[in-house]
Amino acid sequence: MTDPERSAKLRHDLSNPLSALLAETQLLLLNTASLDADTVASLREIEALAIRMRAILRESSS
């Protein structure tokens, strides 16, 4: 396997669980009324970091 192939596989392998993490976090954020402020803040931080990671993965593919 060449380096570009390894990189593509790594991006793919990281993207799938990252997408699931982001989706689950965003689903939880749909119901913030039932969550305390600290939990909402933590979920928003997780969301922001997951979005940042997704952007890094996308940038590394170009």
Give the structural domain span for 26. 3-60
User: What is the structure's pLDDT at 18?
Assistant: 96
Query: Total domain count for the chain?
Result: 1
Is residue 55 within 8 Å of residue 2, measured between CB atoms? Answer: no
Residue-by-residue pLDDT tens, the chain, 62 positions: 898 888 889 898 999 999 999 999 999 999 999 999 999 999 999 999 999 999 999 988 77
Angle ∠(12,25,44) on CA atoms, nearest 5? 110
User: What is the structure's pLDDT at 7?
Assistant: 86
